[in-house]
Amino acid sequence: MNYLDELENKTIYIIREAYARFRNMSLLWSIGKDSTSLLWIARKAFFGNIPFPVIHIDTSFKFKEIYEFRSKYGKEWNLNLIISKNKKALKEGISPEKGKFECCDALKTEALKQTLGEFNFKALLLAIRRDEHGIRAKERYFSPRGIDFKWNYKDQPAELWDLYKSQLEAEQHIRIHPMLHWTELDIWKYIRREKIPIVNLYFAKNGKRYRSIGCKTCCLPVDSNANTTRKIIKELEITKISERNGRAQDKENSYTMQKLRSLGYM
């Protein structure tokens, strides 16, 4: 078995463990490369048809390419798609200009809370990876959240071997991170091997490409001529710039990510 197979097999194992315990669950699809890979593997885990809904948290500030991709593959992969929007906050005119922390918190974390409340999901699959950010490296595969969504990073449950947390206290939900052990490079090698369709913003146009995508307002492209998966892999093998370099929220304050995450951010 090669390394990518090992990663994939473990991810399938975790997805199936999650489903075995929490039938009432959902997958969070940002339509970026990681969650699209997770979706791809989830389809494999369930032999082509994911038996639970897929949530897209829509801040309404996303790139148009993301919306196009969503509508195309939502149909092609037969997804039961839930679009999660914090309509109230949007009506009140919240936007990144009025503070990135507040914007992320309202349009992502708060929107997700509303959707979770509405559908009463007990478990959420998320495609975060340990190599993305030091705070994410501390995560568990099965990471419980309280009713207020808070991540109690100071007192996380033990997680031994592949024996994941199976029971929840009432009012809790659990974040499940089946891609935690993948790196950015692994993801691209896997996308190339599997020929996974991916939003074209990742591929260089006029000397620029996005390494990480989210809201149009808070993502900047990096200098690059990599316009194929092969070239992206080559680029990543030598780069010394970190993946989320183009993301605004990580930079503003060294602890913003930790603060956001402890409040329930992804």
Partner 1 sequence: MRKDVLKIVVIGHVDHGKSTLIGRLLLDTDSLPDEKITEIKRICKELGKETELAYLVDQLKEEREHAITIDTTQIFFKTHRRNYVIIDAPGHVEFIKNMLTGASLAEAAILMIDVQEGVMEQTRRHAYLINFLGLNRVIVVFNKMDLIDYKKERFDKVKTELLKFLGNLKIKPFFLIPVSAKEGTNLSKKSQKMNWYKGPTLLKALDSLKLNTNIVKRPLRFPIQDIYEINGEKIIVGRIASGMVKQGQEVVLCPSFKGTRINSIRVFGKRNKTKAKAGESIGLTFNRPLFVKRGEVVAQKETPPKLTNRFKGNIFWMSDKPLYINKTITLRCAAQKVECGVEKIEKRIDPSRLETIQVNAKELKRNEIGIVVLKTKKMIVMERFNFIEELGRFILEQQNQVCAGGIITEKLLA
117 backbone φψ class: left, alpha, beta (φ>0; ψ -120 to 50): alpha
Whichever of 76 and 160 has its CB closer to partner 1, that residue is 160
Whichever of 102 and 162 has its CB closer to partner 1, that residue is 162
Is the CB of residue 200 less than 8 Å from the CB of residue 65?
A: yes
Q: Is 148 in the site for partner 1 (CB under 8 A)?
A: no
Strands 208-209 and 222-223, by their bridges, are antiparallel
Instruction: Extract the tokens encoding 158.
Output: 């033990």
Report, in Å, the least distance between residue 149 CB and partner 1: 18
What is the Cα–Cα distance from 165 to 144, expressed in whole angstroms?
9
Closest CA to 160 of 187, 189, 140: 140
Report, in Å, the least distance between residue 197 CB and partner 1: 15
Within 161-200, the residues that bind partner 1 by CB under 8 A are 161-163, 165-169, 181, 183
Is the CB of residue 203 less than 8 Å from the CB of residue 228?
A: yes
Mask for 125-144, x = binds partner 1 (CB under 8 A): -----xx-xxx-xx-x----
What is the Cα–Cα distance from 54 to 77, expressed in whole angstroms?
11
Report, in Å, the least distance between residue 102 CB and partner 1: 20
Exposure string of 95-127, with b = 16+ CB inside 10 Å and e = fewer, is bbeeebbebbbbbbbbbbbebbeebebbbbbbb
Q: Is 152 in the site for partner 1 (CB under 8 A)?
A: no
The residue type found at 204 is: A
- Which range in 3-11, 73-81, 100-108, 227-235 contacts partner 1 by CB under 8 A? 3-11
Mask for 26-45, x = binds partner 1 (CB under 8 A): -----------------xxx
Binding-site member from 156, 205, 225, 228 for partner 1 (CB under 8 A): 156
Binding-site member from 154, 171, 206, 223 for partner 1 (CB under 8 A): 154
Report, in Å, the least distance between residue 140 CB and partner 1: 7
Closest CA to 117 of 86, 142, 159: 86
- Which range in 14-22, 92-100, 104-112, 216-224 contacts partner 1 by CB under 8 A? 14-22
Closest CA to 40 of 127, 116, 121: 127
Whichever of 183 and 217 has its CB closer to partner 1, that residue is 183
Question: Which residues of the shown chain bind partner 1 in the complex (CB under 8 A)?
Answer: 1-3, 5-6, 8-10, 12-13, 16-17, 19-20, 43-49, 130-131, 133-135, 137-138, 140, 153-154, 156-163, 165-169, 181, 183, 239-242, 245, 254-255, 258
